[in-house]
Structure 1
Amino acid sequence: MGLLSRLALLLRIRSKAALERAEDPVQVLDYSYQKQVEQLQQLRRAVADVATSERRLELQQAELQRQTERYEQQAFYALRANREDLARSILQRRELLLDQLNSYEQQLGQVRAQKEQLIELEQQLRMRVEAFRSQKEVLKARYSAAQAQARIEEALTGLSTEMTEMRLALERAQEKILTAEARASALHSLLEQGTLDSPLSPPLLPADGDPLDRELARLDQDEQIEQQLQLLKQRLLLDRPTSEGQGHLPPAET
């Protein structure tokens, strides 16, 4: 398949898909019903035309019948007047009219048969149109109900999607709350155990580092305090003899 052929096929496919999307079943049903009604009206006009032709032939036939009767009466008068030749001529004309009457009778038979056929077709088409109209209304009602149900389903689908999103958001919020509560509980336990200093106490230890670093820093601080305490005790021992000697000295003279 050449490039142009494939492009033409693609255009036909897209055009058909676009037409199917744009096609409204209600409009299609109404249009089909209108076309059938127009066909029924055309058939009724055809029946009326055939009936008019039948009536015209019947009138012409009746006129010819009256004319043949007059010719017969005239031929009788001619014979009574001893005009056999005239009577023969009149009867010859009458025979021609009788031939025309036979022809009219045949035409009337054909026209009547055609009229009966058209009337039968008109009745069948009328029944079909009435049945189609009833079916059309049922289909239109079903289509309207289907559209309403589709709109409800779409709304429920959107609501379900929103509910799913809200449920996920609620789960995320609960997860964050549980995480925050667990963190607060862990920090509280560390404060109670002394692993962490309370924010109300002086910042004696470094805030950074892991628990082992903080524990080593605490031990180093305790050792420094102990050394300072020993120094103070030694100083106190050194200051005692001096204090005792000064206690036995006589008071100064005034």
Structure 2
Amino acid sequence: MAHSNSKRSSSSSSNHSDRSTANVRASAYVVNASSAALQGFHYSTTGAGGAECPPLAAKASSNAVGRARRGGAAYTITGECERLFCETLRAVFLGEGNLAQKDSLVMGMHNNMTTDIVNDYGINVRMNTSSATDAPSPEGFGWVQQKGLVSDWIEVWDYVGGIRFRGFVAEKADEKAMVVFFDQNVIGGDLKAGLMALLELCAIDYFACTRLVVCIDRHTQQKPLEVLSKDLGWIGFQLTTLREFAEQGDVISNEWLFMEMDT
């Protein structure tokens, strides 16, 4: 049944959803990093649950075409998520590179091009002003034989706020965290409904994530960055590092500012 709230979503998001109920507020499409299996979950005012994969697969004229389209969607989601990785994230979560060789990535080590901003919580927000910042690699977008801590790649469409989130689920020592990028396409939007959907998704059995980690683009202008970090702080997020994943001290990134919340 069609839903009047579908007018709130973009034409792109409507092509990626199958809102068969009247209260679906967000959809998540999940690619398993090992098998490349694709599945979807819809979040509504009554919670999140399993659903069919995107219509492009369900409406395929044959099983072969359906598999091909599912594979294409899985490849696209994986590639777009991995494209947002900086060198630090690649080293920590994909096992690519050596953190010991990156002296700007561990707090407390020598870095002459670093300034500190103290936010409203009395915590130093480290801002690197060097032009030699991390850069995503143009290669490595494949999902076959995925390495590292990533168990799933995720793409979430928030129909209320009109925002698309990309991220991944990291698993280590039987503990899972959902990591979501707040890039320039996210910052400045109405995040309330999207954050609610992300927290609900963390709680469902498939994900069972104990933490939600957001990666905020450090290239955001200072005032919007301060406002966003303050707003996130009000609902329970705290500044964090990648210590729990890297086991090499308080690892940070030149590209992303990390905040987390227990779910």
TM-score > 0.5 by shorter chain: no
Q: Kindly indicate which of the two structures has a greater share of residues assigned to strand.
A: 2
Structure with bigger gyration radius = 1
Query: Which bracket does the TM-score occupy, shorter chain normalised?
Result: under 0.3
TM-score (norm 2): 0.16
TM-score (norm 1): 0.16
Q: Kindly indicate which of the two structures has a greater share of residues assigned to helix.
A: 1
